[in-house]
Amino acid sequence: MNPRTTLLTLAEALAWWIALAALWLVLISTVDTLERVVGASAAAVAAVAATAARRVVTAR
């Protein structure tokens, strides 16, 4: 993987992370530090999964 595709993949994962973390913050009831940490971690895992999934789906 050359540096350009690495950068594009990282940018896409970051975009997914921002969208998913924002969705988490909207869907929970009270926002405190624990919720922020949990939301950021869950969004990170889901962003990696979403980037990989999109690659698989569009490669077909």
Partner 1 sequence: MNGWILGATLALGAGIGAALWGVATGPLRRRVVAQNMSTALACPALLLLSQGYTRPSYVDLALVLALLGPVGTLVFARLLADELADDPPRAWGVTWVVAGFGAAVVGVLCVATGPSRALVKLLVVGALLIGGNVVASRALSGGFRGVRRG
Candidate residues 15, 23, 42, 52; the one interacting with partner 1 per rule CB under 8 A: 23
Per CB under 8 A, 26 contacts partner 1:
yes
Which tokens is 25 given?
A: 């913050």
Per CB under 8 A, 27 contacts partner 1:
yes
Per CB under 8 A, 49 contacts partner 1:
no
Nearer to partner 1, 5 or 30 (CB): 30
Proportion of the chain in helix, strand, coil states, percent, rounded to 5: 85, 0, 15
Q: How far apart are CA 9 and CA 7, in angstroms?
A: 5
Question: Which DSSP letter does residue 15 get?
Answer: H
Per CB under 8 A, residues contacting partner 1 are: 23, 25-27, 29, 31
